[in-house]
Structure 1
Amino acid sequence: MNKKQLIMEKALELFAKQGIEATPVQHITDYCGISKGAFYLSFKSKDELVTALIDYFMMQIISDIDYQVANMKDDDELLYKFYYTTFQSFHKHSDFAKVFVKEQTQSCNNEELLIKIRYYNSIMENIISSMIDRLYGETVEETKFDLLYCIKGFMNTYTELFFFSTLPLDLDLLAKSLVEKTNLLAKHTTLPFISEELIQMYKQPMNEEIPKEQIVNLIKEKIEEIEEPIEKESLILLNQQLLDPNFSPAIVKGLYENIRNHPQCKWISYLLRSYFRF
């Protein structure tokens, strides 16, 4: 584990226990057993550290959810898989989830963090919206956006169970229960509140797709970081495909599968899947 990863891991433990505001840099460095100078070689400030944590975990969570939704062939199981994967991910990263939810309520005065949080919220909304289109189509044309926010509400509300309960939670039952609730809302809701115009006014310019050049640069950075030969070689070839497309779709998909589950390639996998439209 390098020093930057150590700082992120230990800081997350402290943030989850005592909150971000109550955790100065000195506490983090003492807990890590490093000097303040070593901290500032990795992060310019505590805010930059918090942003890095949000990036790291949200990239993993969103890429997992997006992959499951995109690759679930059975529509009858799609909504269940969405909810199950969502809560499984937040359960797996419960310390981060606590920090993330707290930060959403405390970031009003930090414009950079607010933009970051809204960016990931926007990506999640796009995933949910595509799922609603696939499952319900024109039958929810008038109430689609209300349904989207109801699903987000279920996610936020039930995630709190992981914060305040020490008892084991039945994720299978939770997912099935929310599938039933969502289907009831989709079938019986008739009075819309959220219009498409309101959604468009709310959306931010950051919803635009990440340009190919930026994906290329991200891959180049990741090639330098990872050591596993198969994943490294696959990244090199995928980068080559972006710059000079020559491989068949089957080969590109195979290279993508080689990196998809690597913890350091989650976000790149999400971007590549979107770019190549797997």
Structure 2
Amino acid sequence: MSKKQLIMESALELFAKQGFEATSVQQITDHAGISKGAFYLSFKSKDELIIALIDHFMMQFTSDIDWVVKNSNNDTELLYDFYNAAFASFQKHSDFAKIFIKEQSQTPNEELISKMRHYDKLTDKIILSMIDRLYGEEARKVKYDLIYCIKGFIHVYSHLFLFFNLPFDLDSLCRSLAQKTNVLAKHSTIPFITEELFQTFTTEQSYEEVTAEQLIELLGQTIEEIEEPIEKESLTLLKQQLIEPSLSPAIVKGLLENIRNHPHCKWVSYLLRGYFGF
């Protein structure tokens, strides 16, 4: 485990018990068994560490739901698979999910708020593509309302199983929410959020396209951070593909599959899928 990963895991344990504000850098370094100097070699401040944790959680959440929407071949099960991926991600990272939900409405830090909004808009984009695929013209008038209904379902039901210790049957939950979403999509007739109103929400955070140069830099950083040979070699080949394309689409897709489930490769996998059009 790298020093950076050790710091993040130690901080996560303390944040889960005490919250962001009540946890000091000194407490984090003591818990991790490292010096303050070692901490500041990895992170400039506690806020930078918090942003790294938010990135780590939201990158995995975003990449998981994006993969499901883009790779499901069964439209009748797509909503179920989408909700399953969303709640499974919250369940897998439940300690941080609790902190994230609690703190995101309380933090006065503008950089954190901006970061949260960024991922929120990426989620909107993924959900909108799913709605368009499943319902097309049938839900044209209410599709923007549906985005917020779906996000509302995820938010509220996440609260139930994260904070109230309710019996958690993931299969039943996902089938129930898939049914509710279908009912709303097919029978709602009065929209509230119009396309024009939705666009006003997204002007602050545009969906910027990542460049090959940015991806090459990110791949280089990721290659240095991980140790697993298959993922490391796959990342190296993908980086070379960006520099000098020579691989077939099938091979590129296979390399992306090699890295998709590694927790520190999910984001670069998500970005590369978008770049290569998968």
TM-score (norm 2): 0.95
- Alignment pair present for 1:127 and 2:126: yes
Residues 239-266 of structure 1: CA distance to partner in whole angstroms, max 9, x if unpaired? 1211222221111111211222222211
Q: CA deviation at 1:118?
A: 0.6
Q: Secondary structure at the match of 1:169?
A: coil
| Deviation per residue, 1:179-198 (Å, 9 max, x gap) | 11111111121111111111
- Alignment check: 8 A CA contact 1:94 1:162 kept: no
The match for 2:93 is 93
Give the distance between the partners of 2:77 and 2:205, measured in 1 at CA. 33
1:166 is displaced (CA, Å) by 3.0
SS for the counterpart of 2:105 is helix
Give the residue type in structure 1 aligned to 2:186: K
Q: Whole-Å Cα distance in 1 between the matches of residues 32 and 175 of structure 2?
A: 42
Bigger CA drift: 190-199 or 148-157? Answer: 190-199
String of CA shifts for 1:157-213, please: whole Å, max 9, x gaps.
111023223344000000011011111111121111111111111112442122221
Aligned to 2:265: 265
Aligned partner of 1:227: which letter?
A: E
Aligned residue number for residue 151 of structure 1: 150
Deviation at 1:222, TM superposition (A): 1.5
Of 87-96 and 205-214, deviating more is: 205-214
Q: Which residue of 2 aligns with 1:116?
A: 115
Offset at residue 146 of structure 1 (A): 0.4
Q: RMSD value over aligned CA atoms?
A: 1.4
Letter in 2 for 1:241: Q
217-226 or 174-183: bigger deviation = 217-226
Offset, 1:34: 2.5
Cα distance between partner residues in 2 of 1:192 and 1:167: 33
Instruction: Structure 2: state its 5+ residue gaps.
Output: none
The 5-angstrom pairing of residues 227-246 of structure 1 reads: 227-246=227-246
Structure 1 position 27, deviation (Å): 2.1
| Mapped partners of 1:276, 1:163: distance in 2 | 36
Unaligned segments of structure 1, at least 5 residues: none
Partner of 1:180: 179
In the alignment, what sits opposite 1:64?
A: 64
- Give the % identical residues: 66
CA distance in 2 between counterparts of 1:24 and 1:74 reads: 48
CA offsets, 1:225-247, max 9 Å, x none? 22333222221221121122222
- Distance apart, 1:131 and its partner CA: 0.4
Is the 8 Å Cα contact of residues 61 and 89 (structure 1) preserved in structure 2? yes
Cα displacement (A) at 1:37? 2.5
Query: 3-state SS of the aligned residue for 1:160?
Result: helix
Q: Which amino acid aligns with 1:201?
A: T
The count of residues paired between Structure 1 and Structure 2 equals: 277
Could you tell me which amino acid in structure 2 is paired with residue 197 of structure 1?
Answer: E
Deviates more, 1:114-123 or 1:225-234: 225-234
Cα pair distance change 1:228/1:164, threshold 3 Å = closer
**Does structure 1 conserve the Cα–Cα contact (< 8 Å) formed by 2:144 and 2:195?**
yes
Letter in 2 for 1:144: K
TM-score by length of 1: 0.95
| Residues 160 and 166, structure 2, Cα contact 8 Å, conserved in 1 | no
CA distance in 2, matches of 1:86, 1:8: 23
Q: Following the alignment from structure 1 to structure 2, what is the Cα–Cα distance between the partners of residues 261 and 225?
A: 16
Aligned position for 1:48: 48
SS at match of 2:182: helix
